[in-house]
C-alpha cells in the first residue's frame, strides 16, 4: 500500500502543482496493477481528480489511447473526452488580452520534473509592467531581457506597431505558479509572446519553447532538456515544434531518454516508450533566428521607416531606461526613431515639426547614454540637443514650457554626470528665464529644488538653503504633492552641514506630509526613510537605522531601482557597525550590483558601496585570504570614478589601481586611505 499511496500523492502533486496531467494518469495506471483493494480507493479518487483537470489542449483523445486505466477511471476518461467534444482545437489569438504561449519549465524541487506552463499577456496596471507573483529575481530578469531583445529587434527593422507600444503584464496559469529552479528559461517563450503583442503578428498555436536570452539577444542553454522534451511530448501531443537554444536542440536530438528522477516509486512509473517522434525539435542561435523560425522568414523583413509613429517609439524608449533600467534597449529604440525622423522629414509639410521630434529624440538618447555610463557620448548628444533647442527658440518654433523643461532636464543630467559648474550656470539661466516669462511658481519651484540640491552637493550651503526654502514655499502654495520631496532636499542639506537634529526634523516632517500625497508617495517615503536612516547612523544608532532601511525597502516600488541600492548600502554599513559581518557584507554586495541600472552610480554614487565593501574586507581578520574580493571591489570603484573625471580628476582612481599592484598587498593603511578619499568625493 505504501507504494500506491506514494504514487497517489505524487500524481496529485504532478496534476495540481505542476499541471502534468498525462504524467499523473500514467502514475495512477502504473500503480494500480500491484495495489491492494484499499489502495484502489485512494488511486480512484486521485485519478478522478486528475481526469477532471484534463483540457482540450492536452488532446484527450490521444490520452485515452495511450494510457490504459482501470475500468472506473477509463469510464470517467471517456466521459471527459465526450465533454470536450473529442476535438481539441487551437486558436490563433488576435488581441493582447487573449495571447498565450506554452513554456517548458522545471520544478524547483529535487525531482527536476518538467511541466508545461501557460503564459498570458494582459493589460498592465498603472502603465507599469507587472510580473507573476511568487517568482524570483532570475525569472523576472529573464522577462526583462526577453522584452528588451524583442523591442530592439522591432525597432531596428521599423516594425513596431504604434498601437502596441504599451506596458504589458505577464501572468502564469495556476499550474505554472510553482516556483521554478531555472527561471531564466522563461525568456524564450516570453520573447515569442512579446513579439506577437508588439508586432501584431498572430502567435502560432503549435509551438512549445524553453530557453534563456542574454543582453545581446543570443539564446542561451538551460537545464533539464531531456525532461522538458518528454514533458512536451506527453502533455501537448498536438504541438509540432519544440524550440530551444541551438545547443539544447542538439542535446535533445541526441538524447534518446533520461532516467526517471522520481526515486520514491522507482522505475514503476517510467513510460518512455509512449513518447512520440512527431514533435520536431528546432534550434535557434539568437532572437532574430528565433522569430524567423517561429513566425516565418517574412517576420524578419525590414519595415517602412515612414510608417513609424515617432512619438510612441520615443515614449517606449524612455520607459525602457526610466522604469526598467535598460539603457541599451532604450538607446536602440530612440536611435531607430531618430532614423525614422530623417526618413520622414522630406514628406512633412511642417519642417519645424520633425526638428522638434529630432530634439526630443536627441535629448532622450543623451539621457539613456548618461544612465549607461557613456558620459562622453552623452555629452556630445546633449550638446546637439541643446544647440537645436536654441535654434528653435530663436525661431519661435518651440514653446517656452518645452524649451525651459529641456534646459532644466539637461542641467540635472549634467549634474548626474558631475559637470557641476555647467549644470549650475544652466539652472540659474533657466530660473531667470522662468521669472521673465512669468512661468508658474510650480515650474520655478522645480528649478529651485534642483539648483538647491546642486548647491548643497557643491558645498555652497547658503545658496542651497535660500533656493530650497523658496522652492518649499512655492510648492506649498501651488503643488503640495511635491512638498515631501522638497523636505528630502532640505534634510540632505542639513546632513551635509552636520545639523543632525534639523535633518531628523526635515525627514520626519516629510513623512507626515507624504500621507496626503496621491502620486509617488511610496517612492517619497523610501527616500525620506533613507535620509532618516542616515541621520540615525550618523548618531551611532545603527539598529534604528537598519530598521528604517527595512521599512524603506518594503515601501519602495520595484520600478524605482536607484534608491534601493543606496538604502542597501546604509543597511550594510549599519550591520557592520553592529558586528553583523555576514549581513553587512551581503547588503554592500547587493548595493554595488549595477546589473539592472548600469549607470546608477552616475546619478547617486551607489558604486561607493563597492568601496565600502572593500574597506570592510580590509578591516577583517581574514583580509589576506580574501584579497581577490578586495581587489575586485576596489577596482570597481576606481573604474566608476574613471568614467567621471570631472568629479575627481585622474589621480584618485590611478592611486587605487597602483596600490593594488603586486608588492602592495601588505599596505592596507594606504589602500584604506585612498578608498575613503574616493568615497568621500561622491555626494551620496
**Mean pLDDT across the chain:** 78
pLDDT at 500: 95
**Residue 108 burial by CB count (10 A; 0-12/13-18/19+): exposed, middle or buried?**
middle
CA distance 105 to 82: 30
The arithmetic mean of pLDDT across residues 502-519, rounded, is 92
The arithmetic mean of pLDDT across residues 630-638, rounded, is 85
Band (pLDDT 50/70/90 cuts) for residue 267 is: very low
Residue 581 has pLDDT above 80, yes or no: yes
pLDDT at 486: 94
CA distance 506 to 527: 12
Residue 205 has pLDDT above 70, yes or no: yes
Model confidence pLDDT, tens digit, residues 538-565: 999 999 999 999 999 887 765 555 678 8
Which region holds residue 671: left if phi is over 0, alpha if psi is between -120 and 50, else beta? alpha
pLDDT at 273: 41
Where is mean pLDDT largest: 7-11, 233-237, 533-537?
A: 533-537
Model confidence pLDDT, tens digit, residues 307-326: 666 766 777 777 666 665 56
pLDDT at 491: 96
Band (pLDDT 50/70/90 cuts) for residue 596 is: very low
pLDDT at 131: 64
Comparing 381 with 350, the larger pLDDT belongs to 381
CA distance 25 to 28: 5
Comparing 41 with 373, the larger pLDDT belongs to 41
| Helix (H) or strand (E) run with residue 282 in it | strand 280-284
Model confidence pLDDT, tens digit, residues 393-438: 999 888 898 889 888 888 887 887 778 898 999 999 999 999 999 9
CA distance 512 to 438: 32
User: How large a percentage of the chain has pLDDT more than 90?
Assistant: 23
Model confidence pLDDT, tens digit, residues 119-138: 877 665 545 566 666 566 67
Residue 503 has pLDDT above 60, yes or no: yes
Radius of gyration over alpha carbons of the chain, in Å?
A: 30
Band (pLDDT 50/70/90 cuts) for residue 28 is: confident
- 3-state DSSP of 170-185: EEECHHHHCCECCHHH
What is the pTM (predicted TM-score) of this model? Answer: 0.60
pLDDT at 517: 87
The arithmetic mean of pLDDT across residues 45-70, rounded, is 74
Residue 674 has pLDDT above 50, yes or no: yes
The arithmetic mean of pLDDT across residues 489-500, rounded, is 95
Q: Which residues contact 283 (CB under 8 A, 6 or more apart)?
A: 243, 244, 245, 246, 247, 248, 249, 250
For CA atoms 577, 583, 589, 591, give the dihedral sign.
negative
Amino acid at each position: 500500500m505504501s507504494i500506491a499511496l506514494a504514487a497517489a500523492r505524487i500524481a496529485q502533486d504532478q496534476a495540481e502543482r505542476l499541471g502534468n496531467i498525462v504524467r499523473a494518469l500514467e502514475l495512477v495506471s502504473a500503480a494500480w496493477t500491484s495495489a491492494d483493494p484499499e489502495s484502489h480507493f485512494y488511486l480512484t479518487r486521485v485519478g478522478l481528480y486528475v481526469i477532471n483537470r484534463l483540457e482540450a489542449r492536452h488532446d484527450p483523445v490521444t490520452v485515452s489511447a495511450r494510457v490504459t486505466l482501470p475500468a472506473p477511471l477509463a469510464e470517467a476518461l471517456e466521459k471527459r473526452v465526450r465533454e470536450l467534444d473529442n476535438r481539441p482545437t487551437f486558436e490563433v489569438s488576435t488581441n493582447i488580452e487573449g495571447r498565450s504561449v506554452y513554456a517548458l519549465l522545471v520544478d524547483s524541487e529535487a525531482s527536476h520534473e518538467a511541466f508545461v506552463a501557460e503564459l498570458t499577456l494582459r493589460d498592465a496596471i498603472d502603465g507599469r509592467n507587472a510580473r507573476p507573483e511568487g517568482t524570483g529575481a532570475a525569472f523576472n530578469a529573464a522577462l526583462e531581457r526577453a522584452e528588451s531583445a524583442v523591442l530592439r529587434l522591432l525597432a531596428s527593422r521599423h516594425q513596431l506597431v504604434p498601437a502596441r507600444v504599451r506596458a504589458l503584464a505577464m501572468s502564469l496559469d495556476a499550474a505554472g505558479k510553482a516556483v521554478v529552479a531555472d527561471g531564466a528559461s522563461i525568456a524564450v517563450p516570453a520573447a515569442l509572446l512579446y513579439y506577437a503583442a508588439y508586432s501584431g503578428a498572430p502567435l502560432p498555436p503549435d509551438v512549445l519553447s524553453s530557453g534563456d536570452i542574454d543582453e545581446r539577444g543570443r539564446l542561451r542553454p538551460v537545464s533539464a532538456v531531456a525532461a522538458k522534451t518528454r514533458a512536451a511530448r506527453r502533455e501537448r501531443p498536438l504541438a509540432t515544434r519544440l524550440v530551444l537554444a541551438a545547443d539544447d536542440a542538439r542535446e535533445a536530438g541526441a538524447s534518446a531518454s533520461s532516467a526517471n528522477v522520481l526515486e520514491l516509486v522507482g522505475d514503476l512509473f517510467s513510460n518512455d516508450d509512449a513518447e512520440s517522434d512527431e514533435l520536431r525539435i528546432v534550434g535557434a542561435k539568437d532572437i532574430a533566428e528565433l522569430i524567423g523560425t517561429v513566425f516565418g522568414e517574412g517576420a524578419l523583413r525590414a519595415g517602412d521607416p515612414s510608417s513609424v509613429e515617432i512619438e510612441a517609439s520615443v515614449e517606449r524608449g524612455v520607459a525602457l531606461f526610466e522604469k526598467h533600467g535598460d539603457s541599451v534597449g532604450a538607446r536602440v529604440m530612440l536611435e531607430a526613431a531618430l532614423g525614422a525622423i530623417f526618413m520622414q522629414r522630406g514628406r512633412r509639410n511642417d519642417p519645424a515639426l520633425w526638428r522638434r521630434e529630432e530634439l526630443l529624440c536627441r535629448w532622450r538618447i543623451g539621457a539613456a547614454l548618461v544612465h549607461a555610463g557613456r558620459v562622453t557620448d552623452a555629452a556630445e548628444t546633449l550638446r546637439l540637443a541643446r544647440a537645436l533647442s536654441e535654434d528653435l527658440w530663436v525661431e519661435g518654433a518651440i514653446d517656452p514650457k518645452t524649451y525651459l523643461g529641456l534646459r532644466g532636464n539637461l542641467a540635472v543630467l549634467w549634474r548626474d554626470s558631475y559637470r557641476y559648474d555647467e549644470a549650475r550656470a544652466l539652472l540659474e539661466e533657466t530660473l531667470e528665464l522662468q521669472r521673465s516669462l512669468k512661468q508658474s511658481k510650480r515650474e520655478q519651484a522645480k528649478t529651485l529644488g534642483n539648483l538647491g540640491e546642486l548647491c548643497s552637493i557643491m558645498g555652497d550651503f547658503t545658496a542651497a538653503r535660500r533656493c530650497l526654502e523658496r522652492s518649499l514655499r512655492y510648492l506649498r502654495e501651488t503643488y503640495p504633492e511635491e512638498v515631501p520631496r522638497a523636505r528630502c532636499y532640505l534634510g540632505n542639506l542639513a546632513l551635509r552641514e552636520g545639523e543632525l537634529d534639523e535633518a531628523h526634523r526635515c525627514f520626519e516632517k516629510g513623512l507626515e506630509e507624504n500621507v496626503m500625497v496621491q502620486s509617488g508617495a511610496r517612492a517619497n517615503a523610501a527616500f525620506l526613510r533613507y535620509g532618516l536612516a542616515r541621520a540615525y547612523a550618523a548618531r551611532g544608532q545603527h539598529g534604528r537605522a537598519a530598521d528604517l532601511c527595512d521599512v524603506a525597502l518594503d515601501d519602495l516600488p520595484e520600478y524605482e531601482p536607484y534608491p534601493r541600492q543606496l538604502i542597501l548600502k546604509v543597511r550594510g554599513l549599519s550591520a557592520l557597525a553592529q558586528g553583523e559581518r555576514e549581513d553587512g557584507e551581503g547588503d554592500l554586495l547587493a548595493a554595488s550590483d549595477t546589473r539592472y541600472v548600469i549607470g546608477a552610480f552616475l546619478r547617486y554614487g551607489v558604486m561607493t558601496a563597492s568601496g565600502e565593501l572593500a574597506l570592510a574586507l580590509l578591516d577583517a581578520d581574514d583580509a589576506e585570504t580574501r584579497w581577490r574580493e578586495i581587489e575586485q571591489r576596489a577596482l570597481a570603484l576606481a573604474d566608476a570614478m574613471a568614467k567621471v573625471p570631472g568629479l575627481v580628476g585622474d589621480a584618485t582612481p590611478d592611486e587605487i589601481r597602483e596600490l593594488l599592484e603586486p608588492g602592495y598587498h601588505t599596505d592596507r593603511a594606504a589602500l584604506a586611505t585612498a578608498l575613503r578619499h574616493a568615497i568621500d568625493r561622491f555626494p551620496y
